[in-house]
Structure 1
């Protein structure tokens, strides 16, 4: 078993648990639709996070050719995956929720969710830097940092319009990256 395969098992479990938690939450939302008030921001973040998790799981596979594994690199990879899982748990708390309004759930957990969103982007930067590819391609760093800035703005505002925009934007950018930009870049 290669070092990548060893790490990939753990990362796959963590990201897979995040995907499973989102799907379970969406299933609960559908099954209990008469009991819970739906919320556009929450739904958009659910879609965005699902796509981001699947996309990052796919992109993680690019590390299969990486040969300079160290404990520090392993740790950053694991932390990176954990941030995504925790985002899914903050979006869809695992315990039985007495709150029956997804808008209230999101607002209550918004600082944690956006803090984890920012942390996931910063850990992606750390992961890329440890691979020695921080400026390859040259637009990578500004691209990821703009998500950090948008997340910080989200922490500072209660505007439902902004949060709908942010979730929709992350969803749209993720789909664009998954289906168009990757093809243009040749991977």
Structure 2
């Protein structure tokens, strides 16, 4: 159990940095409303990442069920959560002085953003496998299909620059994530 406690702290710290990054970036719109114009699609992806990070924290409770830890399992988990921090940092850079606004920034960095998001979905599948066969089968067919479809949509988002597509994609991801959480995690964790 000591190993899990250590891993729990590493996950908690990195997730805290990720959430803080999103919150700090969003609060800037309130603190300095005339500096940079927000972009609704960008804000929806911020909301999606906030929801995903909270979901991830809940999801990782199941790491307590892993009885035998190895360095590469630990290393994988650290890389997985670090990937989420990178996504948050991409959503809110330190400054956007080289861009007109967040819309311009979003579309100029969409390839990076959706590449890291696709990696997160692949890591999600591996993470579930690491937690054991019983946990994996709990999700049935949906988990692997979900991972493949969401990765495919991310790869499509890299290529498509149409603002309406990106807006609808953000809404779709948020609605699906809420549905997924409600169906699989609306239970008490023990």
| TM exceeding 0.5 | yes
Q: Distance in 2 between matches of 1:100 and 1:49?
A: 23
- Displacement of 1:181 after TM fit? 3.8
Is 1:47 paired with 2:47? yes
2:62·2:131 contact (CA, 8 Å) conserved in 1? no
- Displacement of 1:182 after TM fit? 2.1
2:65·2:131 contact (CA, 8 Å) conserved in 1? no
Is 1:7 paired with 2:10? no
2:118·2:150 contact (CA, 8 Å) conserved in 1? yes
Q: Aligned pair count?
A: 185
Task: Please give the root-mean-square deviation of Cα atoms over the aligned residues, in Å.
Answer: 1.8
Q: Secondary structure at the match of 1:69?
A: coil
Q: Distance in 2 between matches of 1:132 and 1:66?
A: 8
1:76·1:126 contact (CA, 8 Å) conserved in 2? no
| Aligned equivalent of 2:153, options 136, 150, 155 | 150
Match of 1:177 in 2: 180
The superposition leaves residues 95-115 of structure 1 with CA deviations (integer Å, 9 ceiling, x where unpaired) of: 233135111111121111000
- After superposition, residues 48-63 of structure 1 pair within 5 angstroms as 48-63=48-63
- Displacement of 1:176 after TM fit? 2.2
- Displacement of 1:180 after TM fit? 4.2
1:135·1:141 contact (CA, 8 Å) conserved in 2? no
Q: Secondary structure at the match of 2:95?
A: coil
Q: Secondary structure at the match of 1:37?
A: coil
Name which of structure 1's ranges 104-113 and 129-138 shifts more when overlaid on structure 2: 129-138
Structure 1 residue runs of 5 or longer lacking an equivalent are none
TM-score calculated relative to the size of structure 2: 0.90
